[in-house]
């Protein structure tokens, strides 16, 4: 099984792919430079699956994943989710004191997740954004400057670097919710899961002209049927300033009678409704 992830080798995404155990020993990881590239690889049939970060317990949603999922909604679907602990390390090419480091490079998420540590311990360091944590470590490994990267400690070994400090994230319970992406026609979610153990992710546009209670009009279709919403977030629609899309997660399968009724009524009100996936919900058991 060919699985795309945000690369290069040594990212938290690759860690999550390996930790999930999905695909077993037959799994072939395919690193991609960007999240849209990984999703497009699934939609174009170049890989079987992709694992992507969707939401972090400290910094919230990964917006690139959300936007790219909508763009490819007719070709790919969410088929499963997986939560993975995120433990960030400060990595350099050689041993350095913290006050010697002039720049810290990483993906925007770890930079935000470790912001308290960076402010307190390295207030003079310039913060730079990289496409992924492992590309940041690779850049550090190739530089003679006194710079460092934030990333998984395993990336230090891959690129011949050293770990200066581990577990520097602001909250010890830091974790990321990853999602498995598959071609829309390929549903591999377990059919044995109970209805209450499923989750459906969808996105819809605003309801016609702006008016008081417009969002409530949409959400009441779920609440009136006692369909529980576990997450809601707005994103700019990009067509015009002040217009939004709403991403929501609801408990239950797309074809559960009450969920299906709510979706049908929502389609009568909203200009656009797209189901991004219906899949077994994560369990700590």
pLDDT at 131: 87
* Residue 13, token pair as written in the block: 């995404």
Structural domain spans, the chain? 2-85+175-183, 89-166, 195-280
Catalytic, 200? Answer: no
Catalytic, 82? Answer: no
Does residue 164 carry a pLDDT above 70? yes
Domain 195-280: assigned CATH number: 3.30.70.260
pLDDT tens digits along 10-65: 888 888 888 887 756 688 889 998 999 999 999 999 999 999 999 988 888 888 89
Burial 196-206 (b: 16+ CB within 10 A, else e): eebbbbbbbbb
pLDDT tens digits along 269-285: 888 899 999 999 876 54
CA distance 183 to 48: 8
Please, which pLDDT band fits residue 191 given cuts at 50, 70 and 90? very low
- Is it true that 2-85+175-183 and 195-280 share their CATH fold? no
Q: Which of 133, 154, 176, 278 is catalytic?
A: 176
Question: Of the CATH numbers 3.40.50.300, 1.10.3720.10, 3.40.190.10, 3.30.565.10, which one belongs to the domain with range 2-85+175-183?
Answer: 3.40.190.10
Q: Which of 178, 204, 222, 246 is catalytic?
A: 178
Question: Of the CATH numbers 3.40.190.10, 3.10.20.90, 3.10.310.30, 2.40.30.10, which one belongs to the domain with range 89-166?
Answer: 3.40.190.10
């Amino acid at each position: 099984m060919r699985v795309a992830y945000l690369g290069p080798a040594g990212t938290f995404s690759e860690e999550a792919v390996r930790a999930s155990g999905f695909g077993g020993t037959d799994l072939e990881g395919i690193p991609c430079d960007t999240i849209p590239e990984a999703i497009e690889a699934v939609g174009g049939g170049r890989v079987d699956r992709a694992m992507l970060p969707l939401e972090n317990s400290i910094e919230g949603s990964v917006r690139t994943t959300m936007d790219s999922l909508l763009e490819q909604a007719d070709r790919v679907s969410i088929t499963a989710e997986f939560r993975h602990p995120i433990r960030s390390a400060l990595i350099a090419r050689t041993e350095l004191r913290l006050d010697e480091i002039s720049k810290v490079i990483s993906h925007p998420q770890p930079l935000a997740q470790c912001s308290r540590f960076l402010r307190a311990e390295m207030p003079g360091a310039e913060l730079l954004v990289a496409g992924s944590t492992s590309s940041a470590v690779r850049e550090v490994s190739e530089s003679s400057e006194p710079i460092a990267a934030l990333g998984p400690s395993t990336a230090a070994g891959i690129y011949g670097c050293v770990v200066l400090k581990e577990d520097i994230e602001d909250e010890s319970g830091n974790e990321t919710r990853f999602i498995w992406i598959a071609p829309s026609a390929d549903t591999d979610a377990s059919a044995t899961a109970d209805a209450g153990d499923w989750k459906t992710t969808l996105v819809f546009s605003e309801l016609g002209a702006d008016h008081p209670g417009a969002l409530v009009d949409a959400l009441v279709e779920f609440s009136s049927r006692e369909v529980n919403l576990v997450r809601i977030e707005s994103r700019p629609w990009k067509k015009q300033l002040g217009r939004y899309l709403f991403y929501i997660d609801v408990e239950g399968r797309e074809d559960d009678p009450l969920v299906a009724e709510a979706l049908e009524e929502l389609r009568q009100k909203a200009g656009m409704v797209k189901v991004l996936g219906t899949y077994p919900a994560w369990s700590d058991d």
